[in-house]
Amino acid sequence: MPLTRKVTDLLVPIGDYAVTNEDSPLSEAILALRKVYCQVEVGKCTEAGHRNILVLDSRKHLVGILDFRTILRALIPEIAGGLTQRLEAIGVSVAFAQADSLDLDESRLSFQARVIKNADTKVKHLMLKVRGLIQAQEDLLSALKLMYANNITVLPVYENGDLIGVLRESDLFLTVADIVSN
């Protein structure tokens, strides 16, 4: 039964995953994630790698996760952000317009310049908090339940108090798909 297998059988080792520091700028995290997700150095990106990057603190403890959506929301808040972020972006423009200081309004920079500027934001100001973790010896069904209970797509896996890897929703999907195919 595939789902009675242990988490340790399916996890992605931490060494294979993209990691960044919470004090690093977002630009560094983006480049690290792109490297793992898409092997652009060796040619066309044909195989999708990991879609998240783990955020560690100075003691190498896992403190957060960044995913594509969070990154895009930070880079282009006026488009990818929620209503609040969009209103804030317009509100800032209104503030500078009403002070007759239009030229100081950063949101009037070109799209590219805004993206580059927003990429300077520190990772710790954007990262998603880690919600839930699992021990390596637990079974995959427990992992699946935990993922859906916490509405997350990646689950950090610990063994003897150390982070040893990550279990992804996509791996669990493939495991469940095996049941169907068999």
Partner 1 sequence: MTRTGKVGAWGLALLLSVDILAGSGFANEGMVVVDNASSFSWWIWPLLLLVVTFVMGVAAVLGGVGGGVLFVPIISGFFPFHLDFVRGAGLLVALAGALAAGPGLLKMNLASLRLAMPVALIASSFAILGAMIGLALPTQVVQIALGVTIIGICILMLVAKKSTVPNVPKADPISSVLKIYGVYQEASTGEIIDWKIHRTWQGLILFVAIGIMAGMFGLGAGWANVPVLNLLMGAPLKISVATSKFLLSITDTSAAWIYMNQGCVIPMIVVPSLVGIMGGSFVGVRLLRVAKPGLVRWIVIGMLAFAGLKALSKGLGF
Residue numbers of the site for partner 1 (CB under 8 A)?
Answer: 84, 87-102, 104, 106, 108-109, 113, 117, 120
Nearest alpha-carbon partner for 57 in 119, 129, 8, 120? 129
In which element (H, E) is residue 154 found?
strand 154-159
Asked if 109 contacts 119 with a C-beta cutoff of 8 angstroms, the reply is no
Q: Which is nearer to partner 1, 93 or 135 (CB)?
A: 93
Q: Which is nearer to partner 1, 47 or 120 (CB)?
A: 120
Q: Which is nearer to partner 1, 113 or 174 (CB)?
A: 113
User: What's the min distance (Å) between Cβ of 106 and partner 1?
Assistant: 4
User: What's the min distance (Å) between Cβ of 86 and partner 1?
Assistant: 10
User: What's the min distance (Å) between Cβ of 91 and partner 1?
Assistant: 4
The owner of tokens 């934001």 is: 121
Alpha-helical segments (H) within 44-153 = 68-75, 77-80, 83-98, 111-118, 140-150
Q: Which is nearer to partner 1, 16 or 106 (CB)?
A: 106
In which element (H, E) is residue 134 found?
strand 134-135
User: What's the min distance (Å) between Cβ of 81 and partner 1?
Assistant: 11
